[in-house]
């Protein structure tokens, strides 16, 4: 990982690159376009493929290990950063490959210490990720897709159509950028990651798994999978697949209602994946992993704030050990979804606790910069 002054130069490097690009864009296209060669993203290669590349080019296989370390453990931004390689080797890499890093386009800091990054991808699309500090931890909330194909009515991201899935290194880079910011602004490394930003992570399962493999690998960031939560709106087939794959990270489900009619109104895909299917998949998950399930739950005024809603949730929680996180809601401008009154939240808490279900009531962070849950919509 990085020392503080190299973090500062790394962060400013992001911005310098962007500024330079916007100033020089016209000139660059005018002179260079006819000669443009599409190079492959080097981070799509496995370590073995990198070793083979060097052998094929008359060098030693271990050179591939060095480059792999630069790309993942040291999160190099350019081939020139790879200072233990000769100039010729760096040039050979430059001639054949590109490093498609994300670039922090804008960074906003909230009064409560929350940081929101709008990150620009190599094809100029933008996604957002958030650093959420508390007394005991700093958590990265990362995106898995550009936009989202699901249509949760309360979610700002749902208004952006899904453009594409993020690739593993784009997910990894968001974590590295936030880890750097955590060290720089909060004097501690990132402690936790939640896949709760833009997109449905289980609709981009393979790339999310590859990114988590890198994040948890000692050749990457070396984080414990127990500090990672993948939050899904509930895709039954993929929850079963996760159980079969014996994943080690935690699972959270954005439930918001345990009554089909209500859930379908607020999360229309529930008509395709009804609660019975979700429950069956979660039973499967629990039987295979023995891991408690966390439900993310927002209580809205007039939508799910009645006693029958709590009773349904209690029944849904009973088939496997569960925890309920009641999250404060952040309106996304129209009046349809409003945070429920505190009496309704108190009722949820009392009834759940009376049924021995662990419940926490979480206040949202970063509301002043639209970084709170459900607010990510590339507005900055
Ligand atoms: S809540 Fe999650 S799954 Fe639903 S639309 Fe928003 S980003 Fe997609």
Nearest to 156 by CA among 277, 275, 4, 333: 333
Q: Ligand 1: which residue has its CA nearest to atom 7? A: 199
Residue 195 contacts by C-beta under 8 Å, 6 or more apart in sequence? 142, 144, 201, 208, 228, 229, 230, 231
- Cα(357) to centroid of ligand 1, in Å? 25
> 282 and 253 in contact (C-beta within 8 Å)?
yes
SS3 label, residue 73? coil
255 labelled binding-site residue: yes
Pocket-testing residue among 156, 158, 329, ligand 1, by greatest number of atoms within 8 A of Cβ: 158
Q: Copy the structure tokens of residue 122.
A: 């190599």
Atom 4 of ligand 1: nearest residue by CA position: 152
Ligand 1: which atom is nearest the Cα of residue 148?
8
Integer Cα distance of 178 and 142 in angstroms: 9
3 state DSSP class of 288: helix
Task: Record the tokens describing residue 346, joined without a space.
Answer: 């108190």
Has 200 been labeled as part of a binding site?
yes
Would the annotation count 199 as a binding residue?
Answer: yes
Look up residue 333 and give its DSSP letter. S
> Ligand 1 centroid to 208 CA: how many Å?
16
Phi, psi (degrees; rounded to nearest 5) at 97: -135, 170
Residues classed as catalytic: 128, 373
Interval between CA 255 and ligand 1 midpoint (Å): 12
Pocket test for ligand 1, best of 128, 142, 153, 200 (most atoms within 8 A of CB): 200
pLDDT one digit per residue (tens) for the chain, 380 residues: 333 444 444 444 443 333 323 222 222 232 333 345 578 999 999 999 999 999 999 999 999 999 999 999 998 989 999 999 999 999 999 999 999 989 999 999 998 899 999 999 999 999 999 999 999 999 999 999 999 989 899 888 888 888 899 999 999 999 999 999 999 999 999 999 999 999 999 999 999 999 999 999 998 999 999 999 999 999 999 999 999 999 999 999 999 999 999 999 999 999 999 999 999 999 999 999 999 999 999 999 999 999 999 999 999 999 889 999 999 887 776 678 888 999 999 999 999 999 999 999 987 666 666 665 566 666 65
Q: Whose CA is nearest to atom 3 of ligand 1?
A: 200
Tell me whether residue 141 is annotated as binding: no
The dihedrals phi and psi of 91, each to the nearest 5 degrees, come to -65, -40
The reported pTM is 0.85
Task: Report how far ligand 1's centroid is from the alpha carbon of 371 (Å).
Answer: 14
Q: What sign does the dihedral 246-247-249-254 (CA atoms) show?
A: negative
Q: Is 282 annotated in some ligand binding site?
A: no
Note the residue count of the chain: 380
Is residue 255 within 8 Å of 316, Cβ to Cβ? yes
How far, in Å, CA of 160 to CA of 104, rounded? 20
Among positive and negative, which fits the CA dihedral 370, 372, 378, 380?
positive
DSSP letter (8 states) at residue 341: P
Backbone angles phi, psi at 153, to 5 degrees: -70, -20
**Pocket around ligand 1 at a 6 A CB cut-off:** 148, 150, 152, 155, 157-158, 198-200, 233
Q: Do the beta carbons of residue 145 and residue 378 sit within 8 Å? A: no
Rounded-to-integer distance, Cα 54 and Cα 62, Å? 8
Residue that is written with structure tokens 């590859």 in the block? 210
Ligand 1 atom closest to the Cα of residue 199 is 7
Distance 337 CA to ligand 1 centre (A): 15
Task: Specify the ligand 1 atom closest to the Cα of 145.
Answer: 7
């Amino acid at each position: 990982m990085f020392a503080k002054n190299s973090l500062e130069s790394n962060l400013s490097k992001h911005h310098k690159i962007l500024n330079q690009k916007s100033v020089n864009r016209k000139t660059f296209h005018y002179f260079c376009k006819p000669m443009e060669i599409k190079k492959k993203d080097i981070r799509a290669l496995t370590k073995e493929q990198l070793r083979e590349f060097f052998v094929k080019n008359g060098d030693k296989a271990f050179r591939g290990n060095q480059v792999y370390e630069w790309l993942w453990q040291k999160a190099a931004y350019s081939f020139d950063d790879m200072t233990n390689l000769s100039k010729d080797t760096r040039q050979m890499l430059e001639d054949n490959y590109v490093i498609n890093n994300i670039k922090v386009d804008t960074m906003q800091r909230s009064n409560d210490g929350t940081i929101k990054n709008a990150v620009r991808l190599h094809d100029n699309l933008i996604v957002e990720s958030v650093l959420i500090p508390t007394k005991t931890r700093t958590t990265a909330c990362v995106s898995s897709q550009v936009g989202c194909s699901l249509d949760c009515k309360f979610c700002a991201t749902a208004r952006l159509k899904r453009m594409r899935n993020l690739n593993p290194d784009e997910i990894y880079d968001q974590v590295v950028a936030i880890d750097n910011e955590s060290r720089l602004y909060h004097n501690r490394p990132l402690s936790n990651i939640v896949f709760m930003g833009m997109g449905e992570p289980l609709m981009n399962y393979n790339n999310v798994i590859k990114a988590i493999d890198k994040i948890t690998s000692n050749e990457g960031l070396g984080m414990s999978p127990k500090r990672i939560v993948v939050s899904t709106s509930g895709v039954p087939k993929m929850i079963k697949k996760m159980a079969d794959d014996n994943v080690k990270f935690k699972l959270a489900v954005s439930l918001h209602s345990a009554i089909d009619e209500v859930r379908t109104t607020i999360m229309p895909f529930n008509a395709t994946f009804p609660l019975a299917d979700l429950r069956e998949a979660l039973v499967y998950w629990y039987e295979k992993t023995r891991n408690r399930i966390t439900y993310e739950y927002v209580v809205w005024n007039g939508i799910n704030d009645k006693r029958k809603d709590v009773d349904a949730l209690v029944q849904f929680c009973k088939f496997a050990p569960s925890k309920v996180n009641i999250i404060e809601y952040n309106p996304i401008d129209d009046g349809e979804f409003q945070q429920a009154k505190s009496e309704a939240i108190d009722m949820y808490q009392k009834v759940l606790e009376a049924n021995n279900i662990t419940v926490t009531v979480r206040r949202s962070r970063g509301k002043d910069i639209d970084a709170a849950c459900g607010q990510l919509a590339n507005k900055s």
